[in-house]
Structure 1
């Protein structure tokens, strides 16, 4: 379940950041309202991840964020990831998995 929270958080952060991108590039200042709401939900979701350390939660999230960003590029921007995008995302996700699944003393 915590892994799903990370993926949901990534969706809200990417959505919020993309809305800011659109607001600034397209002059649609009204997009700031949903952007801020998305980013607030992102922060809230990340706080639910259940990690004993904010830094560890951020590190795990970082790998998932990279994968989600590459998926966003493919799905919403129509840019096909190249092998380097995919390799980088796989390495980041592997690093996140090491941190997430590491056996820790109690």
Structure 2
């Protein structure tokens, strides 16, 4: 795990400029949706995942630091989270939360709780 949730782990296989939109996103226990958008912004890198019908079309913002592996051949992104952890994450509103530092802090607190086991 990198020191920051908001940056890709060096071991993830992420390369700057790689297009991840449309890639399937896999939790540790199954598929959670597709990458709708992603950001590589330093200190704020993340995936915006459309969960589709799995949790009624909810969009979730997942910090890039949870990405464990990117498989470009199969167009899949693997995250070190369970489906329930993603499902129970703080609600995301695209129009209010994308650049909101307070929301990023809320997400950091939520996801870091799973790193301190």
Instruction: Give the TM-score taking structure 1 as reference length.
Output: 0.30
Instruction: Give the TM-score taking structure 2 as reference length.
Output: 0.28
Whose helix proportion is higher, 1 or 2?
1
Whose strand proportion is higher, 1 or 2?
2
Larger Rg: 1
